[in-house]
Amino acid sequence: MDRVFDLGISGVARDAGDVRSLLVDSAISHCEKLRRVLELEGWIREARDCPLLERASERWQSEREQLIAELELSH
pLDDT digits (tens, 9 = 90+) for 8-55: 555 555 676 788 899 999 999 999 999 999 999 999 999 998 999 999
Q: Who's near 30: CB < 8 A, 6+ residues apart? A: 71, 74
Number of domains in the chain: 1
Residue 11 domain boundaries: 2-73
d(CA 60, CA 47): 10
Reported as a pLDDT band with limits 50, 70 and 90, residue 61 is very high
Say what the pLDDT of residue 44 is.
96
Running DSSP on this structure, what letter comes out for residue 51?
A: G
pTM: 0.69
